[in-house]
């Protein structure tokens, strides 16, 4: 046992809070850029963001950080720390080591490269011009391979990238989990497609007043327990949620004039992310643990609220009357059953972000297989369009007419975010596991939803997931809450049960 | 002649840009706090502001800053610098020395004191309770006296405070200028009050739709040449303008449901501040010179646009039709002459912020006389209520019923902003001087306004005032633009001519 210096711990905490302060300021500047900052100020604002992010990075990789980490990582001392401080030290050390292994000039060059790649991608996507983007993507992949060598890896090289978004995730686990899911999802999809009883969705595409859409979005957020004293709803082209601190978690949505779904489910989705961030324990304020624990767990919350609550029969049995009142005359001839079925239409499409709950996972698997192949060396960037189209055919039965709606559709690769995509499908899997446990622990769950009594659900999730922030890692949370590791069976059961009923199979 | 190291100049510029970056981030956070940040995030956000402001202050007073200033202040080297860099060095040195003369622990204690004094003031004002606020104000004045000793002073101690807001301003000048103005303003006021022909203002107080008020505010801002690609209009309880950088200058206004004036002239006022900041030369970007040169010159621009343009006969001859159309049916029975007279009603009141163009100056002089007396020792804080009431009686002919609408009405003293008030009246004086010169250089000025051709006015002010930012000080600007120093005669002439006509004397 080695006693630690309590003052030194205080100093370390305040040092970490300083880093977090820079990050919070940068977060607000990004929010502002996306919600209405005047365009002529953007250039200077980007420089300001650069200065503050650079300062946060400099502190994170400083001698001072190294000293604190050396001191507190000493096993005897680490053991003496409280569990939160222990986790702070190990998380900070992990980040520190990852950052330190990349020489600063290499990292700076990479930032320039990805920023160029992103603008080229935008143009290339618009024009459907793969050849324009290809050399940039080749370079981005090449640099990522270099980084993997510097960071080190166990097993598959891609594991190192997966771990950045989902700590502990590996190709070995994902192959098994995605394989099991795909094995059931692909036949389910073709069964649904061949059902003679397809939902009618025509009434979803009327003209919907924007202010009314906003009112209904605000109403549903309130029902979910989103705290408007700790957040706000704005409008952007691409909806997002951003947790600046647990008292300031903002969401945005998009109001399409001729589609009632987009704002409605987009808002619930971002609201799910926001509930997570708003309910992180204040004990973790100002520490690196005051954030969601992984992209996958975060996504499990947005998808839990969007799909498992927001697209459930019970939810609409309670809220359909409110929706009808909100759009007078527009849903008079639509029954709640028709509306519920329409919100759950399954249809293979080319575009990930428009995909339904079932096919979404298949879109992700296409990308996962490609990323895996890129980093094992089984595929080259040049092979991607062909690979993409073949996988879409295989998993979803559709083929893009051009690369703009194919291999060029997502921004992620241009920014070097390899390993991110699996989080989306992991979110669906985790969400179904949470739902399965919640049903046991809140035995009247269906009734609660049907009564619009959603707060016990938020409280359960707060207790089990939200409050822990990053103090527990995804594997620990799953084990602690559900008693199991990642397991795709619950999602498969959920999808089969729900969709066979909807499609009357 | 001593050659300077060009690389060192580059480094210094980038060091200054870093400070400016922190300030810009802090500016955005303040804007956000006032325009809709969720209240539960305020506590953490305040800490973030504290960290970034503290960092900016630390850099401004660092050894590194001292080294740069020592190096470039060396007379031979200074003379070799371009005029902008020379001014950057002298301005930075002035700030550095002012900051360094206060021991950090004294400064920190003062920040705590004024923050307490501000909250006590808020409560005391609400309750009209002078005794509650008095001990805090005594302490604030005492610390300011200590600071003056540390900073040093020439002539009157109050000069050191005046110089912070209006470089070069002194009690000697203000006594003369305010004296000359008061000598004419007080009799003019009583003449106007005794006129049998008082304007009717009843039609200003109907119910005005908020969205329509917003539309008209946006329209007028566009007419003034406010660049919406370099700014935005939001709504706050207390209107303000904030220049984050010349490409991002935001304004806010307040829409009162039963008063068409408040948003209209409030918007033009803030729009005037904003035109100044939007049109600072981009050459000064990222330097400490990229801001208005003084509070007085800044206020001259808001008041020039609000009063000399926005409350002119020519302006309403052009825009009254638009206003009538904007509020259908609400001004059918009001002639443009009636409307014009109503916008220029003169009425002594107790409250500064509601004062008209003529009496405003008298409200300022009350405060100026009191501040002067406090710092010469001629008055004690305990004397203030009595002094205040006597001066209001003398200058404006009115007396407050309680201290809430009297000596407690403004926030400035609680925050220690002594020396600030004179800027408001200086703004009026400067504005009249600019108008006098502009009339000579744009001989068809009345016609331009009457045609709604306001851009040449903005361009003239940009050329003469705006683009220089802080690269010229107020005295230099006045001399360069008008050929004269501060001179109250033009304001006197303007007020006499305008108001005698309006009041048919």
Please indicate whether, in this complex, the C-beta atoms of B227 and A40 are within 8 angstroms of each other. Answer: yes
Cα A441 to chain centroid distance, Å, stands at 26
Alpha carbon of A105 to those of A109, A112, B246: distances in Å? 6, 11, 32
State yes or no: pLDDT of B408 exceeds 70.
yes
Nearest CB among B22, B38, B232 relative to A247 is that of B38
B228 lies within 8 A of chain A by CB:
yes
Angle, helices B130-151 vs B104-127, to 10°: value is: 150
User: Does the model's ipTM exceed the 0.85 cut?
Assistant: yes
Digit-coded pLDDT (tens) for B310-364:
999 999 999 999 999 999 999 999 999 999 999 999 999 999 998 999 999 999 9
Cβ–Cβ contacts within 10 Å for residue A436, how many?
A: 17
pLDDT at A3: 83
Q: Of B48, B51, B231, which is closest to A38 when you measure between CB atoms?
A: B231
**What is the signed CA dihedral for B431, B433, B435, B440, rounded to 10 degrees?**
-160
Burial class (CB in 10 A: 0-12, 13-18, 19+), A34: middle
Chain B residue nearest residue A243, CA to CA? B41
What's the pLDDT band for B371 if we cut at 50, 70, 90?
very high
pLDDT above 90 as % of chain A = 98
Segments of A201-317 assigned E as strands: 233-235, 241-245, 248-253
Which residue, chain included where needed, has tokens 């980084």? A147
Interface test with B, best of A26, A36, A51 (most B CBs within 10 A): A51
Chain A touched by B354 (CB under 8 Å):
no
Question: What average pLDDT score do residues B108-120 get?
Answer: 93
> Which distant-in-sequence residues (6+ apart) come within 8 Å of B74 by Cβ?
B2
B18 touches A: beta carbon within 8 Å: yes
Give the whole-angstrom CA distance, residue B505 versus residue B486.
Answer: 29
Tell me which residue in B44, B246, B285 faces A247 most closely, judged by beta carbons.
B44
What CA–CA distance (Å, rounded) separates B404 from B396?
A: 18
Backbone dihedral region of A5: left (phi > 0), alpha (psi from -120 to 50 degrees) or beta? beta
Side-chain-facing half-sphere of B97: CA atoms under 13 Å: 13
Tell me the binding residues of A for Zn(2+): 269, 273, 299
Of A24, A41, A244, nearest to B247 by CB-CB distance is: A41
pLDDT at A478: 98
C-beta separation of A296 from A310 below 8 A: no
pLDDT in tens, A87-108: 999 999 999 999 999 998 999 9
Helices within B346-502 (DSSP H only): 359-376, 384-396, 422-441, 445-450, 455-464, 474-482, 489-502
Partner-chain residue, chosen from B40, B55, B231, that has the shortest CB–CB distance to A247: B40
Is B28's CB within 8 Å of A24's CB?
A: no
Question: Hey, is A408 helix, strand or coil?
Answer: coil
Average the pLDDT over B359-383 and give the result. 98
Q: What is the pLDDT of residue A396?
A: 96
Distances (CA, A) of A486 to A308, A365, A475: 18, 16, 8
Does A286 contact B44 at a Cβ distance shorter than 8 Å? yes
3-state secondary structure B274-335: HHHHHCCCHHHCCCCCCCCCCHHHHHHHHHHHHHHHCCCHHHHHHHHHHHHHHCCCCCCCCC
Catalytic-residue membership of B142: no
Gap between the Cα atoms of A33 and A49, Å rounded: 11
- Summarize chain A as % helix, strand, coil (round to 5): 70, 5, 30
pLDDT attached to residue B301: 98
What topology does CATH give the domain B202-348+424-470?
Answer: 1.10.1370
pLDDT band at residue B1 using 50, 70 and 90 as cut-offs: low
State whether A248 and B36 contact (CB < 8 Å).
no
Asked if the C-beta of B51 comes within 8 angstroms of chain A's C-beta atoms, the answer is yes
Q: Are the C-beta atoms of residues B475 and B430 closer than 8 Å to each other?
A: no
Judging contacts by C-beta atoms under 8 Å, the chain A residues touching residue B25 are 25, 29, 48, 52
Query: Using an 8 Å Cβ cutoff, are A279 and A467 in contact?
Result: yes
Q: Over the stretch B31-79, which tens digit does the pLDDT of each residue have?
A: 999 999 999 999 999 999 999 999 999 999 999 999 999 999 999 999 9
Residues in A closer than 8 angstroms to B51, CB to CB, are: 17-18, 21-22
CATH class entry, domain A202-345+423-469 = mainly alpha
CA separation for the pair A170, A154 (Å, rounded) = 9
Cβ–Cβ < 8 Å for A287, A280: no
Nearest CA in chain B to A25: B25
How many whole angstroms separate alpha carbon B390 and alpha carbon A122?
69
| Distance of residue A247 Cα from the nearest chain B Cα, in angstroms | 4
Work out whether the CA dihedral A308, A311, A316, A317 comes out positive or negative: negative
Is B412 known to sit in a ligand binding site?
Answer: no
Interface check for B456 against chain A (CB to CB < 8 A): the answer is: no
Residues of A with CB below 8 A from B21's CB? 47-48, 51-52
Q: Does B218 touch chain A (CB under 8 A)?
A: no
Domain coordinates in residue numbering, chain A: 1-100, 202-345+423-469
β partners of residue A242: A250
Q: What's the rounded Cα separation, in Å, for the pair B90 and B94?
A: 6
Q: What is the pLDDT of residue B311?
A: 98
Quick check: B247 and B228 in contact, CB under 8 A? no
C-alpha span between B274 and B284 (Å, rounded) = 17
Pairwise CB contact (< 8 Å): B44 & A38: no
Alpha helices (H) along A152-259: 158-165, 171-193, 210-224
Dig out the tokens for B366 from the structure: 């009350």
Give A17's contacts in chain B (Cβ within 8 Å).
47, 51
**A245 shares contact with chain B (CB less than 8 Å):** yes
Kindly give the confidence (pLDDT) of every residue in chain A, 505 residues in length, as a single tens digit, with 9 standing for 90 and above: 578 999 999 999 999 999 999 999 999 999 999 999 999 999 999 999 999 999 999 999 999 999 999 999 999 999 999 999 999 999 999 999 999 999 989 999 999 999 999 999 999 999 999 999 999 999 999 999 999 999 999 999 999 999 999 999 999 999 999 999 999 999 999 999 999 999 999 999 999 999 999 999 999 999 999 999 999 999 999 999 999 999 999 999 999 999 999 999 999 999 999 999 999 999 999 999 999 999 999 999 999 999 999 999 999 999 999 999 999 999 999 999 999 999 999 999 999 998 999 999 999 999 999 999 999 999 999 999 999 999 999 999 999 999 999 999 999 999 999 999 999 999 999 999 999 999 999 999 999 999 999 999 999 999 999 999 999 999 999 999 999 999 999 999 999 999 999 999 9
Q: Model confidence at B3, in pLDDT bands (50, 70, 90)?
A: confident
Q: In terms of DSSP bridges, do strands B241-245 and B248-253 run parallel, antiparallel, or are they unpaired?
A: antiparallel
| Residues A450, A233: Cα–Cα separation, whole Å | 26
């Amino acid at each position: 046992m080695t006693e630690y210096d309590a003052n030194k711990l205080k100093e370390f905490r305040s040092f970490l809070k300083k880093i977090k302060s820079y990050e919070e300021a940068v977060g607000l500047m990004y929010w502002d850029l996306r919600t209405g900052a005047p365009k002529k100020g953007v250039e200077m604002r980007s420089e300001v963001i650069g200065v503050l992010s650079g300062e946060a990075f400099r502190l994170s990789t400083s001698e001072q950080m190294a000293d604190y980490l050396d001191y507190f990582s000493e096993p005897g001392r680490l053991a003496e720390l409280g569990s939160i401080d222990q986790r702070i030290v190990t998380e900070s050390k992990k980040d520190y080591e990852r950052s330190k292994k990349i020489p600063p000039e290499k990292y700076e060059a990479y930032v320039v490269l990805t920023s160029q790649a992103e603008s080229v991608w935008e143009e290339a996507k618009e024009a459907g011009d793969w050849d324009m983007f290809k050399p940039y993507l080749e370079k981005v992949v090449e640099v990522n391979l270099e980084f993997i060598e510097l960071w080190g890896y166990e097993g598959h090289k891609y594991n190192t990238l997966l771990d950045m978004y989902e700590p502990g995730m590996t190709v070995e686990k994902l192959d098994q989990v995605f394989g099991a899911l795909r094995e059931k999802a692909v036949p389910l999809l073709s069964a649904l497609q061949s059902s003679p009883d397809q939902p009618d969705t025509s009434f979803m595409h009327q003209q919907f007043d924007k202010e009314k859409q906003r009112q209904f979005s605000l109403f549903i957020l309130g029902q979910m327990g989103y705290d408007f004293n700790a957040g706000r709803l704005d409008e952007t082209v691409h909806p997002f949620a951003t947790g600046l601190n647990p008292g300031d978690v903002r969401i945005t949505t998009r109001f399409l004039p001729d589609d009632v779904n987009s704002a409605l489910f987009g808002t619930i989705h971002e609201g799910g992310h926001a509930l997570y961030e708003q309910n992180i324990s204040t004990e973790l304020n100002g520490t690196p643990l005051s954030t969601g624990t992984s992209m996958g767990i975060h996504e499990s919350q947005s998808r839990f609220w969007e799909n498992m609550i927001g697209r459930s029969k019970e939810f609409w049995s309670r809220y359909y009357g409110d929706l009808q009142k909100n759009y007078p005359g527009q849903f008079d001839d639509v029954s709640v059953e028709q509306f519920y079925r329409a919100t759950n239409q399954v249809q293979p499409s080319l575009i990930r972000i428009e995909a339904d709950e079932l096919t979404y996972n298949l879109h992700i698997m296409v990308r996962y297989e490609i990323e895996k192949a890129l980093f094992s060396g089984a595929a080259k960037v040049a092979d991607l369009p062909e690979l993409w189209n073949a996988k879409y055919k295989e998993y979803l039965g559709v083929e893009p007419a051009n690369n703009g709606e194919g291999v060029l559709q997502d921004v992620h690769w241009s920014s070097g975010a390899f390993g991110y995509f699996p989080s989306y499908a992991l979110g669906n899997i985790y969400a179904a596991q949470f739902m399965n446990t919640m049903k046991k622990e809140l035995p009247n769950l269906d009734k609660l939803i049907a009564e619009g009594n959603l707060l016990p659900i938020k409280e359960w999730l707060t207790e089990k997931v939200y409050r822990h922030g990053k103090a527990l890692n995804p594997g620990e949370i799953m084990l602690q809450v559900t008693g199991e590791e990642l397991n795709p069976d619950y999602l498969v059961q959920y999808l089969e049960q729900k969709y066979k009923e909807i499609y009357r199979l």
